[in-house]
Amino acid sequence: MTISSAYIHIPFCQQICHYCDFTKFFYNERLADEYLEALKKEIHTYIPGEKAKVKTIFVGGGTPTAVNHQQLKRLLVMIDEHFDVSACHEYTFEANPGDLDVEKVRLLKEYGVDRISLGVQVFDDDMLEQIGRVHKVKDVYTNVDRLIQAGLTNVSIDLMYALPGQTVDHFEKTIDEAMQFDLPHYSSYSLQIEPKTIFYQRYKKGTLVKPPEEDEAEMYELLQRKLAGAGVHQYEISNFSKPGFESQHNLTYWNNEYYFGIGAGAHGYLPGKRTINIRPLPAYTKQAMASGKPILHEEPVGLKEKMEEEMFLGLRKTEGVSISEFKKKYEKEMMDVFGEAIPKLMERNLLEKQEGMVALTPRGRILGNEVFQEFLLDD
């Protein structure tokens, strides 16, 4: 079996953001030490022998850079012992602006990390505080400069829009400031109010109000126009890059390829099944140390599920899904399988066919979830 990528989850944060529903816990040195030991056991269960060759490694969170220097080195050594980092096409670490001191940047560079994803969100100190972020705008400048000076020039920054109190003009200023860095990659996501978050509790109480839907759509269209004008092309619903700097790891997901999911709450996709790991930290650590397999749930993936996922993952890409590749993978014509959904969505100007591809229209990108549900097949 060919596993294209590895996702490794580090669940620790210095502060919990008000919108975040990922598996995360306040950083504690002892808990982090125990977690790294459990993580090593899980990785070794997947890769007991020679180093695994994968195209991409992505270390996400939480905030992987929230751990101390010794723990970061331990994590990097662990990854290097189990994966052939030298053969990896892309090795990404997520980071919080402000976490990256000189020593952490040096360690990342030394152990082969070649891409950094910075959670910037907005260029406004007051709004950063309102959404629960601990960094300041000045930290973004300091950290980006530090990374580039160290030769880590493949930097991506995440932005958020449709935040409480955010106007179209406010988001435009954030886009303009972000573009001044002239980075190779930008990601931008609208606020989703998820259960078990601080924002969800406020929303239920009526104390949190998102901008109107038309403002949210205008923010998204503004983002597309501004980045396109700067030569940063949109290659996925929420992702933009200069040519050649598309996130190879995220393309693993959207191309429906296999990947390891390692760590508390991590999702993986292995031949014939999708896996979800145990989320609570003590339970994850206990099970990982006992068996090396801290899996909460395994879901079989048959032909039906593969074809569905091919469409609603692949359609996230601007280029869409290849009609010929679909037939090659599944030995079925796309129109034989989705002959009802595709014409209906084309009629609504949500989908288009061109040059052997089926892709979302600009309107379809805004209404993506409506499109994707049309590709769920009857049993």
Question: Mean pLDDT over all residues of the chain?
Answer: 94
Instruction: Please give the structure tokens belonging to residue 157.
Output: 């920054």
**In this structure, are residues 263 and 9 in contact, taking their beta carbons and an 8 Å threshold?**
yes
- Among 66-70, 204-208, 356-360, whose mean pLDDT is lowest? 204-208
What is the model's pLDDT at position 1?
Answer: 58
> How much is the average pLDDT of 374-378?
94
Q: Which residues contact 275 (CB under 8 A, 6 or more apart)?
A: 261, 267, 268, 269, 295, 297, 298, 299
Residue matched to tokens 């090795």: 91
The helix (H) or strand (E) run that includes residue 109 is helix 102-110
pLDDT by residue (tens digit) across 286-327? 999 999 999 999 999 999 999 999 999 999 999 999 999 999
The ranges of the chain annotated as CATH 1.10.10.10 are: 320-373
Provide the pLDDT for residue 23.
64
The residue-averaged pLDDT of 117-146 equals: 94
Evaluated on CA atoms 17, 21, 22, 28, the torsion sign reads positive
* Three-state DSSP class for residue 140: helix
Q: What is the mean pLDDT of residues 84-98?
A: 96
pLDDT for 15 = 73
Measuring CA to CA, which residue among 215, 240, 219, 217 is closest to residue 228?
240
CA–CA separation, 65 and 79 (whole Å): 15
Distance CA 82, CA 79 (A): 5
Higher pLDDT, 261 or 19: 261
Q: How confident is the model over 325-342, as pLDDT tens digits?
A: 999 999 999 999 999 999
CB atoms closer than 10 angstroms to residue 226: 17
Q: What is the mean pLDDT of residues 102-114?
A: 98
The whole-number average pLDDT for the span 73-94 is: 97
User: Beta strands 351-354 and 357-360: pairing type?
Assistant: antiparallel
pLDDT category, 8, cuts 50, 70, 90? very high
- pLDDT over 90 (residue 198): no
Pairing status of strand 12-13 against strand 267-270: unpaired
* Percent with pLDDT over 70 in the chain: 97
pLDDT over 90, % of the chain: 86
Binned at pLDDT 50, 70 and 90, residue 203 comes out as low
pLDDT band at residue 200, thresholds of 50, 70 and 90? low
Over range 359-368, report the average pLDDT.
94
pLDDT surpasses 90 at 17: no
Residue range 240-260: mean pLDDT, rounded: 97
DSSP of 193-246, one letter per residue? --TTSHHHHHHHHT---PPPHHHHHHHHHHHHHHHHHTT-EEEETTEEESTT-S
Q: Does domain 320-373 match CATH 1.10.10.10?
A: yes
Q: Please answer whether residues 44 and 292 qualify as being in contact, where contact means their C-beta atoms are separated by less than 8 angstroms.
A: yes
Is 330 in contact with 307 (CB distance < 8 Å)? Answer: yes
Taking residues 125-134, report their average pLDDT: 90
Please give the C-alpha separations between residue 354 and each of 224, 255, 321, 338, 357, in angstroms, as whole numbers.
21, 19, 10, 17, 5
Query: According to CATH, where is 3.20.20.70 located in the chain?
Result: 5-254
pTM across the whole model: 0.95
Residue 98: pLDDT over 90: no
Q: At what angle do helices 69-82 and 29-46 cross, to 10 degrees?
A: 0
Residue 370 CA, distance from chain mean position: 21
CATH label, 5-254, candidates 3.40.190.10, 3.20.20.70, 3.30.70.20, 1.10.3720.10: 3.20.20.70
Sorted by sequence, the CB contacts under 8 Å of residue 74 that are 6+ apart come out as: 36
**Lowest mean pLDDT segment, chosen from 131-135, 169-173, 176-180, 363-367:** 131-135
Do residues 341 and 374 make contact, with C-beta atoms less than 8 angstroms apart? yes
d(CA 30, CA 123): 34
pLDDT band at 114 (very low <50, low <70, confident <90, very high): very high
